[in-house]
Amino acid sequence: MHKDDNQVRVRFAPSPTGYLHVGGLRTALFNYLFARKHGGKFVLRIEDTDRKRSISGALEKLTTTLKGIGLQYDEGPDIGGNYGPYIQSQRTDIYKKYTQKLLDSGNAYYCFCSEERLNNLREEQRKRKRPPMYDGKCRDLSKDEVEDNLAQGMPFVIRLRYPREGKTVFDDVVRDRVAIDNSMVDDQVLIKSDGFPTYHLASVVDDHLMKITHVIRGEEWLSSVPKHIFLYESFGWKVPVFVHLPLLLNSDRSKLSKRQGDVSVESYIQKGYLPEVMLNFIALLGWHSADDREIYSLRELEDAFSLDRINKAGAVFDIEKLNWMGGQYIRNLDVEYIADQSRHFFEEAGMDISDNDKYLKVINTARDYVYCLADIVEHAKMFYEEMIFSEEDRKLIEEENSQKIYSYWIEELGKKVGWEPEEISSLTKQSIGELGIKGKKFYFPIRLALFGNCHGPDIPTLIDILGTDESIKRLETCLTR
Ligand code: GLU
């Protein structure tokens, strides 16, 4: 027996659309986790047989995203493997061979119906509120008719001759036993008029040839399973285990938004949602641990994951929860790591972060306020840029109390260089005691002068980051008398 014969083998089989959908990432992640948990193989296969939808550059983008986020596959288009090629458009000869077998066994047939006829048929079915299905006109053409048509060069497709009667019953790990009336199953097109196979044929053939043991994918494919089983049985192949993951929903429980910005993994990564956050959040979309724990690293997920805790009910993509989790990670991970990940946002904003001590302090403070790294610049820029005051700010700055505070602090801070945060705390108490200005009347003007905002970090932190000289300079700019 070949060693792959008793090894778990799963696959992620996206179409190259140019971006990775969050639902796609969930499918990839669950496959990855299942493979890792069982010491199996995780395969990446590109399903690009819909030539109209294939986009150039999409493959590179996809592989970069998957690897960048940490889901390294064991076999795939760019790294090879024993069952390649892993791009379906490079496997057309294989599909031809298997289509011929189906034609020979009578499980598939040529269909010569024109686009126009099919459109009319669909229109009629729509009017009669029937599901759109092929009516079987070419199902029983004689051998001679077929050969004549082919000889005349008539365009054709090849369809599955799906049984009309009975039911198809199968087991799914998540949905348990599923029964679908055969009358609801279409004579699926297997080979299109451009000669390319459809997803259904190609994926079944590939899943078999690539020795896939478990098909883990989105629930939208559940109703296609009867066609797939029919194909497996027609070829005399073993049917894999099916695992259909629950639908992803918007907060209002409608099907997850189709707007690319909201569902593209790349756009979340670009905004600086950490890869760890995306994986952790996505792992909980339709799966939960035994103790409902929320925070997991990828390594921890590899141990904790199991198929029997995948939910049947749709999973809400709750952006609030994603943001909450984002904040948790940004605050709790190593500050050096967060600083590193944030660096390019600062560089793009043209900020000089060459003073690394200052930069680390800035990150350590600013990270309390954000859930994605793109926002960290917004909360950090006051430490790097000249302050611009509004008219309202100016009014507060010019108040007598504020001016008293500024003079006092300039004088006190000037007494030495290098103030420790605890000393600033004492100075704060001393200033409040001596000037008798406290609460908002103290904190708002001084924070405004140092940070450009009445709200924000505490005074010892601000002065620690800015340093004595810069703090004094900022206070001086606010002196009007
Ligand atoms: N190419 C299909 C998709 O993009 C794959 C479905 C499957 O996993 O079988 O959804």
pLDDT at residue 261, rounded to an integer: 65
Q: Which of 3, 127, 129, 258 is catalytic?
A: 258
Q: Whose CA is nearest to atom 4 of ligand 1?
A: 14
Whether the bond between 131 and the residue before it is cis, its omega within 30 degrees of 0, is no
Q: How many angstroms is it from 14 CA to the middle of ligand 1?
A: 5
Q: Whose CA is nearest to atom 10 of ligand 1?
A: 14
Q: How many angstroms is it from 202 CA to the middle of ligand 1?
A: 11
Residue 352, token pair as written in the block:
């000089």
Q: Whose CA is nearest to atom 2 of ligand 1?
A: 14
pLDDT at residue 5, rounded to an integer: 65
pLDDT at residue 4, rounded to an integer: 58
pTM (predicted TM-score): 0.92
Atom number in ligand 1 closest to CA 47: 1
Q: Is 97 a catalytic residue?
A: no
pLDDT at residue 245, rounded to an integer: 98
pLDDT at residue 360, rounded to an integer: 97
pLDDT at residue 306, rounded to an integer: 95
Q: How many angstroms is it from 28 CA to the middle of ligand 1?
A: 11
List average pLDDT for each run of 10 residues in the chain, which is 481 residues long: 75 94 97 97 95 80 96 97 96 97 97 96 94 94 96 97 96 97 96 95 98 97 97 98 96 80 91 97 95 92 95 94 97 97 95 95 96 94 91 96 97 94 96 95 97 94 96 95 66
Pocket residue to mutate for ligand 1, from 34, 221, 245, most atoms within 8 A of Cβ: 221
Residue 441, token pair as written in the block:
């009347």
Pocket of ligand 1 (CB under 6 A): 13-15, 47, 199, 203, 217, 221
Contact criterion met (CB below 8 Å) for 23 and 248: yes
Q: How many angstroms is it from 449 CA to the middle of ligand 1?
A: 57
pLDDT at residue 3, rounded to an integer: 57
Domains of the chain: 92-245 (3.40.50.620), 391-478 (1.10.10.350)
